[in-house]
Amino acid sequence: MLSNISFSPAPELVDLYGLVLQFLVPAETTLFYFNPTKSNCSWEILQRTNLTQQPQIVWLREEMYPGLYNRHSSQIFAMVCLSERLYEWQIRLLAKSLTRFRFVRILIEIQDKESYFLASQVLSLCQHYSMLNVVMYFQRWTRHLNIYTYTAFPYFNLAKQRLSGASPPRVFTNQLADLRGYQLRVQPDLSPPNSFSYRDKHGETRIGGFMWKIIENFSETLGAGIQILYPTWRKAQVSSSEYMLEFTRNGSSDFGLTTNMIIFKPEERYQDYSYPMFYSSWCTMLPLEKPLSVHTLFGHVLTSGTVVLLHLIAILCFLVVPQLIKLLHIRFRGKLIRLALRIFSLVMLSASSAQLLSLLIFPPVHSRIKSFDDLLLSGLKIFGMRNEFYFLDGSFRAKYASAFYLTDNPNALYDNRNYFNTSWAYTITSVKWRVIEAQQRHFAHPVFRFSEDLCFNWSSPCALLIAPESIYRESLHHFTLRADEAGLINLWMTQSFYDMVRAGRMTIKDYSGTTVMRALRTKDLRICWTIFAAGLGTSSVVFTIELLLFYTNVFLNSL
């Protein structure tokens, strides 16, 4: 490509263009020429002669280029012409133009004679505005053309490289491949199971929780350390995310560890979050349906349908069959009827006994709650926070307000929920349910279930808080995808329970209670006594009627 140049530029300048040419070869790469002062820069010659096949954006105004992020892909190479006096203002305009495009490669030409101090000032500003892939050179160089780059980690270090030499200079390297122990500033919300502090056996303060596991492993992939910024605000006043958002926006912290559901409609709010790490639902934690009482089980053995069937069988055996035997002139019909009666009684007793034993061993449960209407009919109430309830839809609140028991004290909710008080249902996110689910694995039998039929918010994406122009955004994006594909995020959520056990915040204890097996009591046989009394009463009435008819005739005949 460079062989087509029709002029005779300095050989060093040709070498520079050859060095950056490898990043311009893809046809989809767009060249962004940024020259707000309309100065004469060397790269304009290259633009007119060699790069005619590349899509180009030429910006020659003293203002930012609007909407670059919304109009173009990230396949951009920026060539920038800066003046020696206005470079601070021009770099600020360039940073605004490259909003959400901080990883594009930038070649800067300064219209001044070569100065190590000026190169340090310009590249320090580039680091301040989170532009890492920058190569700079001076228009007025003397003997040899030198290019300037910098390393950002663990601290700013200016690198001066001679363009012509035995080995070609290294440009546009991935600076995030190794941060060399640089400290990432991380702000945990200290809300279990996201993150929580505790003291280890040596008395040192540690941080646990699945969000901490995510950021800890991410920092290890970058070769970085972590500087913890503890919350300074009062709890239970405003959500932690609202405070942490200000810290990430003003550059005081790099990451805010909180399970934020991305539900904001304004588009500009999305830049405050990383790529979604998982999806979370806000639903209801319901007590498992209790088994039916023994008294009720007898009703399952002798239902109304069974009674009707028994009557039909009795009519068939004792009225229809004898008449058929008589019509067919079958001998020994009395013995056959008695045999049929005994077989029928044996079958009925065996079937009833087997069904009753089956119900006593594995008793069925009460009707499952599948909707908020079922919840109203059951009489069970949801123990929830008052401030969360008023975020729900107005029509929903008006219809189902009686299904909630609201409180302003979060500790009351946590105490009842953490100690598995089955007198209430509870609001819970699917993230915290994983901890409850892991805890219930150590129970004799589960006590609560996570109901996806009674949800207030379904599958909202959750992400970390991150600075809008964070240099870690893309690396965190790729790390999140790899961790999710490997199932590590779900694993860390489940392991949060065991982290909390080690920290002394939870215990492995069976809150389910044991089911005591006991013999049948008199009140359990209530339905049997009722049927017996009904049968005895009916027999007594029939016998009394027969006696009355007999003695009435005797009395009348004696007159």
**pLDDT tens per residue across span 34-43:** 988 887 877 6
Say if residue 316's pLDDT is above 50: yes
Beta carbons within 8 Å of 387's beta carbon, 6+ residues apart: 408
Average pLDDT over residues 254-272: 70
Could you report the per-residue pLDDT of 126-136, keeping only the tens digit for each?
999 999 999 99
Smallest CA-to-CA distance from 99 within 63, 128, 124, 67 is with 67
Q: Does position 407 have pLDDT exceeding 80, yes or no?
A: yes
**Distance (Å, rounded) from C-alpha 509 to C-alpha 549?**
72
At 1, is the pLDDT very low, low, confident or very high (cuts 50, 70, 90)? very low
Residue 238: the pLDDT is 46
**Tokens 């709890």 map to which residue?**
235
What is the C-alpha to C-alpha distance for residues 280 and 432, in angstroms, rounded to an integer?
10
Compute how many other C-beta atoms are within 10 angstroms of the C-beta atom of residue 193: 27
Q: What is the pLDDT of residue 329?
A: 66
Average pLDDT of the residues in 27-31: 74
Q: How confident is the model at residue 333 (pLDDT cuts 50, 70, 90)?
A: low
- Give the dihedral of Cα atoms 135, 140, 145, 147; nearest 10 deg: -20
Averaged pLDDT, 514-534:
72
pLDDT at residue 297 is higher than 50: yes
pLDDT at residue 270 tops 60:
yes
Per-residue pLDDT, 4: 46
Which structure tokens are listed for 412? 């009351």
Answer whether residue 18 shows pLDDT above 50. yes
pLDDT higher than 90, residue 488: yes
* Per-residue pLDDT at 433: 92
| Mean pLDDT (whole number) for 463-467 | 89
Q: Is 204 left (phi over 0), alpha (psi -120 to 50) or beta?
A: beta
Cβ(39)–Cβ(111) under 8 Å?
yes
Bigger pLDDT: 554 vs 266: 554
- Using a 10 angstrom Cβ sphere, with 0-12 exposed, 13-18 middle and 19 or more buried, the burial of residue 4 is exposed
Give the pLDDT confidence score for residue 383 in this predicted structure: 92
Token pair listed for 396: 């929903």
Q: Are 263 and 481 in contact (CB under 8 A)?
A: no
Structure tokens at 298: 């007898």
The number of residues making up the chain comes to: 559
The confidence band for 538, taking pLDDT boundaries of 50, 70 and 90, is confident
pLDDT tens digits, 207-216:
999 999 999 9
The whole-chain average pLDDT of the chain stands at 82
**Strand ranges of the sheet holding 56-59, from the earlier edge strand across to the other edge:** 56-59, 30-34, 76-83, 105-113, 134-140, 146-151, 157-162
Portion of the chain with pLDDT greater than 70, in percent: 84
Given pLDDT bands bounded at 50, 70 and 90, which one contains residue 217? very high
Directed axis angle between helix 488-502 and helix 473-485, to 10°?
A: 90
Lowest mean pLDDT segment, chosen from 400-414, 473-487, 517-531: 517-531
pLDDT of residue 122: 93
Token pair in block for residue 165: 């030499």
The pLDDT of residue 52 is 57
Q: Is the pLDDT of residue 518 over 50?
A: yes
What pLDDT does residue 535 have? 80
Instruction: Return the pLDDT at 7.
Output: 44
pTM of the model: 0.77
Most confident of 215-219, 273-277, 337-341, 552-556: 215-219
Question: Which residue has better confidence, 292 or 274?
Answer: 274
Contact 413, 384 (CB under 8 A): yes
**pLDDT at residue 369 is higher than 70:** yes
Using a pLDDT cut of 90, give the percent of the chain over it.
23
Give mean pLDDT, residues 365-371: 82
Closest-CA residue to 233 (of 258, 200, 254): 258
The span from the CA of 346 to the CA of 5, in Å, is 108
Q: Per-residue pLDDT averaged across 142-164, rounded?
A: 85
- Mind listing the pLDDT tens digit for each residue in 342-363? 777 787 778 777 777 777 777 7
Bridge partners, 460 (sequence order): 280
Closest C-alpha to 186, from 255, 246, 275? 255
Please give the residue that has the higher pLDDT: either 15 or 529.
Answer: 529
C-alpha span between 266 and 273 (Å, rounded): 13
The residue among 190 and 90 whose pLDDT is bigger is: 90
Give the DSSP letter string of 76-109: EEEEEEEESSSHHHHHHHHHHHTTT-TTSEEEEE
- pLDDT-based confidence at 559, cuts 50/70/90? low
Owner of token pair 């409180």: 407
